[in-house]
Structure 1
């Protein structure tokens, strides 16, 4: 069973990109090599701002959607709070 992560990248233009992966380090490499999301390709280089572990794929995708609904200034703290709630449910 895979561990799922929701991650936030900081782009060169200081914007944030949110995504889901099973391997944050590999995904960061993909984004920086230009094979990641179209959004990040135009804003290279990107750095990992934060990533949080989720118990399953479904909860990770729900968290990603919820994070994307927030303003940029709220995203990092909101993601950490969501992860703490999800991981405490186990």
Structure 2
């Protein structure tokens, strides 16, 4: 079974990072506001990035790490620009 870390863009332009074991179900939950909280007040949301991980712990760790990143670093990840992600990490602009 795979687990996923993901980034959503909310209607207000903000990003939301989470993790789940079923990305399709979780997206439906976010889109309907069923989960409440942050995304429910910022609908609709759009999935911008996701990555699968072999364990829930690894997906959760990725979520926690990404949540600490700057908007610029998240955007580099979403774009798949690993050189920019590395550059921003080196410059400590997390």
Q: Deviations over 1:40-71 (max 9, x none)?
A: 01100001111101111111111111000101
Q: Distance in 1 between the 2:18 and 2:35 partners?
A: 10
What pairs up with 1:1-90 in 2 under 5 angstroms?
2-76=1-75, 77=77
The alignment of Structure 1 onto Structure 2 pairs a total of residues equal to 79
Task: Say which one has the larger Rg.
Answer: 2
Distance 1:56 1:31, change over 3 A: same
Q: Deviations over 1:3-62 (max 9, x none)?
A: 100010110011100000111111111011111240001100001111101111111111
Q: Which runs of 5+ in 2 are unaligned?
A: 83-94
Runs of 4+ in 1 over 2 A off after TM superposition: none
Distance 1:52 1:73, change over 3 A: same
Q: Which runs of 5+ in 1 are unaligned?
A: 82-90
Give the TM-score of the pair, scaled to structure 2: 0.76
Give the TM-score of the pair, scaled to structure 1: 0.79
